[in-house]
Structure 1
Amino acid sequence: MTAVTPVILCGGSGTRLWPLSRASFPKQFLVLSGSDAGQSLFQEAVLRINAIAKPGLEVQQTLVVTNEDYRFLVLDQLRELANIQAALLLEPVGRNTAPALTLAAMQVAEAPNENYDPILVITPADQTVKNQAAFTAALQDCVAIIQADKNNQTIAILGITPIAPETGYGYIKRVSSAKEDEGQAVEKFVEKPDLQKAQAYLADGDYLWNSGMFVLRASTWLAALQEFRPDIFLATKSSWAARTQDRVERTAFIRPGKEEFKAIPSESIDYAVIEKCPGSSKFIVKMVELDAGWNDLGAWDAVWQVGNQDAKGNVTSGDTLLTNSKNSLVHASSRLVSAVGIENLIIVETADAVLVVDRSNSQDVKNIVAKLEEQKREEKSLHRKVSRPWGWYDSVDEGERFKVKRICVKPGASLSLQMHHHRAEHWIVVKGMAEVTNGNQVITLAENQSTYIPQGQPHRLANPGKNPLEIIEVQSGSYLGEDDIVRFEDTYGRS
């Protein structure tokens, strides 16, 4: 029996898919690929990898490497998937993919059986694949290549059959004489090219897109990292030795040492190891070609490419009306969006922002995000509706010295016991039942009842019922920023 461990790399902020993707709710948690089941890119990635199981090939617990801030987003989306067991490796800060994979390799190396050395199947969480059968077959071929290597020196990678001179991907150059049934030998990796080079690569026929999906044994990765980047290995090992662990329901939250993790050099899997293997005497890279409608949805033009296009090449989502328009993407989140006589445009509407960009310039949306950061605008990181581990809030209105929020609390959940220095709050229950801690008092409020929380008063909102609780919160005071909060107790480890 061959055992494989899926490793889902679930970091990144997806800046080129702003305003839908933001730092607090990045693209991997969005439904972007036209999934009939309404699944996010992260959920699709988990299911794709787990689907490679077959007689003689066992898929074990999924490891998700993600940022500490995303842990409850991941947990909520995992709850929606049947029969998926997972553990979360929580990074306190982003350090790119090489340290992330090292955490996963060190986790499986902790098995009590010293001879246990599972095959890791690594994928980013933000890709889409149209042909699941072709993907499964290619990944099973990668596993077979690793299984056949008794010296644990091989890394298998999926190379994507190119369909255009794409300048947004790195490329893999294969050795043209390689044998298909043993995987194709890799001659070299090349960086993202300009258009002229990309056209030459496409004409050559031996250059494939680098998918960022790898298969290798845990011991192989750790040995290769020690060979090529011992600084990353040692720093990650130090952070791993300082880890802590807790559980939410049946899911383990594993936290490497925070200060030790900050000291790890930031580097990608490719730069740290993979690109150094061709020509190495100790490690080799074999490639399996994949032609399965793959896309990494790196920009809005890619979302248009994989979307369900109508007869005029338009992809629409939400409440939209288009006339005399073609080859465009129009996404409406909160209101009617109409377009007349447009061509090759991207229009994305959310409750607090609208993006209009020519499809050919969609890679440059990141420049808008950079300007938002320069101006310290909340729209860079937060939507108007913000997900929280206890539910969500929607900032529906604000002005001088006031802000109005709609707040939803999940059944059985509660906010932290907290206090604000600069604002008071008025709460009105519009749905469900609320348990309110207000100083030394604990009261229960039903629909249409309200209460007042004075400035500086410790307070907590909880939902003791079996249905969602919704309230309207009116804040008033001299400062209404989200950072005016002191937490005394918190179920979610934020105090």
Structure 2
Amino acid sequence: MSTLVPCIIAGGAGTRLWPVSREALPKPFMCLPDGESLLQKTFRRAIGLEDVGQLLTVTNRDVFFRTLDEYRPMNSCAVELDFILEPFGRNTAPAIAAAALHVARRYGEDAHLLVLPADHLITDIAAFASAVDSARRLADQGWLVTFGLLPTRAETGFGYIEKGQALGSNGFTVAQFVEKPDTQTARHYLDGGRHLWNSGMFCMRADSVLAEFKTHAPQVLDAVIHCLEHSQAFEGKQQRHLELDSQRFAQVPDISIDYALMEHSQKVAVVPCQLGWSDIGSWEAVRQLSPADANGNQCNGENVLYDVHNCYIDSPKRLVGGVGLNDLIIIDTADALLVADARRSQDVRHIAEALKRQGHDAYRLHRTVTRPWGTYTVLEEGPGFKIKRIVVKPEAALSLQVHQHRSEHWIVVSGTAQVTNGELDFALATNESTFIKPGSPHRLSNAGQVDLVMIEVQSGEYVGEDDIVRLTDIYGRAPITD
């Protein structure tokens, strides 16, 4: 059989899972009760398929290094890692077109592209592997195969697929894709037995999907080809990545694969399956992953509750006290608290959307922010100052940079820092410090084998994160000069 290339599509902000899911650290990175993230579970599921020696990920370039960190402890089989890095999201059709072009060029036009959303949960791994085998057999016959989930309830939050004629024992043609129905229609679908939930997973030969793009969505295909011709490829140790050109990618139509292709093609098939699947699309879905106590409550963290029933409380770092509550969702993070009626968990997205319109940092960032070199946590800030805790990974380094509007005072908490400050290069040990004037080029590095922990005190007329001019950077974030 042809080469199988799983392709993890990691896009979207997961606004219904705010305040844990945010634009800079979205839903795929959410840890479930067992300690693994949704992205890690998708990765493990993909590389666990038979004869998989390579994996492609399409994701935002801002989370590239965090994604590598998520994959690294899971990749004991040394699977080759390919990445296509988007400067911003343009929906699933451009992502899949870019993946198909990349796979056809690198692995052959007959390679099987298995498209997997990064933020879904599947608990029946054996059923998943069996469904993939069925889909690959249909893909070899030229079908674009989607996976239809047998509905277990009259769900109004999912799109549906209507089955057509049987294609052997394991698949059907797709009669039509159906938008999210009202309650009465969803009940009719459940009782009728001809409709399946649309999972958003696909399996197809690279040449088959590219031919259908050429027929039904040539504007998407042509724009993606043009973008790839002007994009840069980089190769590192056991991984390679392609950074899509921002200017050309902005010209690609913003459209889903269903609208661009699947609803128009006559070559779409569906494999019905039961996978123990959830899209983890709301806090109500998340709470189903944990057992309830005698009062119907599911709690993470320390709490004291009196006359509280049927509540989901996630507060890992702060004590929660509750009195006389029923059917609430309470999510506490370092900088934001969500309190919602559990019956309206889908409406949490309105909070995230309002924060985005306001330009509020709580839409994009957590207090702790991931960077290629490690993390920083904002401990305190006010007019003219900001205090951070900085953790630099072993053998990592921040960019050589300058600030125009602020000074910085660095204090080593643990580890040894290698510092560039103007024309000076020196080491700082625990409890030692240095002061950096505005406009002075500076860099912080960790040449040791343990994490370097620093406290940084910023002061000045402006302490925003955009007051950074990068001069050089080992992660490719500085402007390229001749």
TM-score by length of 1: 0.93
**Corresponding position of 1:275:** 263
**What are the superposed Cα offsets for residues 143-180 of structure 1, whole Å, 9 maximum, x if unpaired?**
22223x1xx2x1111111112222211011113x6366
**Corresponding position of 1:429:** 412
Deviation at 1:109, TM superposition (A): 1.4
Residue of structure 1 aligned with 2:106, choices 95, 105, 111: 111
Residue of structure 2 aligned with 1:43, choices 35, 40, 43: 40
Q: Distance in 1 between matches of 2:264 and 2:205?
A: 17
Deviation at 1:327, TM superposition (A): 2.9
The answer to which of 196-205 and 361-370 deviates more is 196-205
Q: Distance in 2 between matches of 1:69 and 1:208?
A: 35
- Kindly provide the amino acid, as one letter, of the partner of residue 124 in structure 1: P
**Corresponding position of 2:128:** 135
Q: Distance in 2 between matches of 1:459 and 1:271?
A: 49
Pair 1:483-2:472 in alignment: no
Q: Is the contact made by 2:122 and 2:277 (CA closer than 8 Å) also made in structure 1? A: yes
Residue of structure 2 aligned with 1:260, choices 240, 243, 248: 248
Residue of structure 1 aligned with 2:208, choices 184, 205, 220: 220
Deviation at 1:455, TM superposition (A): 1.6
- Kindly provide the amino acid, as one letter, of the partner of residue 329 in structure 2: I
Deviation at 1:117, TM superposition (A): 1.3
- Kindly provide the amino acid, as one letter, of the partner of residue 135 in structure 1: F
Q: Distance in 1 between matches of 2:52 and 2:167?
A: 28
**Corresponding position of 1:371:** 354
Q: Distance in 2 between matches of 1:67 and 1:325?
A: 41
Q: Is the contact made by 2:148 and 2:161 (CA closer than 8 Å) also made in structure 1? A: yes
Matches within 5 A, 1:376-455: 376-455=359-438
**What are the superposed Cα offsets for residues 383-402 of structure 1, whole Å, 9 maximum, x if unpaired?**
00111110000001112221
Residue of structure 1 aligned with 2:84, choices 86, 89, 92: 89
Pair 1:296-2:279 in alignment: yes
Q: Is the contact made by 2:367 and 2:377 (CA closer than 8 Å) also made in structure 1? A: yes
Deviation at 1:324, TM superposition (A): 3.6
**What are the superposed Cα offsets for residues 445-485 of structure 1, whole Å, 9 maximum, x if unpaired?**
11111111112211111111111000111111111111111
Q: Is the contact made by 1:347 and 1:356 (CA closer than 8 Å) also made in structure 2? A: yes
Q: Is the contact made by 1:239 and 1:260 (CA closer than 8 Å) also made in structure 2? A: yes
Structure 1 portions without partners, runs of 5+: none
Q: Is the contact made by 1:390 and 1:414 (CA closer than 8 Å) also made in structure 2? A: yes
Matches within 5 A, 1:49-128: 49-53=46-50, 58-81=51-74, 82-83=76-77, 84-111=79-106, 116-128=109-121
- Kindly provide the amino acid, as one letter, of the partner of residue 8 in structure 1: I
Matches within 5 A, 1:304-323: 304-323=287-306
Structure 2 portions without partners, runs of 5+: none
Residue of structure 2 aligned with 1:169, choices 158, 166, 173: 158
Q: Is the contact made by 2:411 and 2:456 (CA closer than 8 Å) also made in structure 1? A: yes
Deviation at 1:11, TM superposition (A): 1.2
Q: Distance in 2 between matches of 1:338 and 1:228?
A: 57
The answer to which of 8-17 and 329-338 deviates more is 329-338
Deviation at 1:182, TM superposition (A): 4.0
**Corresponding position of 1:233:** 221
TM-score by length of 2: 0.95
Deviation at 1:423, TM superposition (A): 0.8
Q: Distance in 2 between matches of 1:333 and 1:490?
A: 35
What CA RMSD, in Å, does the superposition of the two structures yield over aligned residues?
A: 1.7
Pair 1:159-2:148 in alignment: yes
Residue of structure 1 aligned with 2:180, choices 162, 178, 192: 192
- Give the share of equivalent positions with the same residue, in percent: 44
The 1:321/1:164 distance shift into structure 2, 3 A limit, reads farther
Q: Is the contact made by 2:17 and 2:282 (CA closer than 8 Å) also made in structure 1? A: yes
- Kindly provide the amino acid, as one letter, of the partner of residue 15 in structure 2: T
**Corresponding position of 1:12:** 12
Structure 1 runs of 4+ aligned residues shifted over 4 Å read none
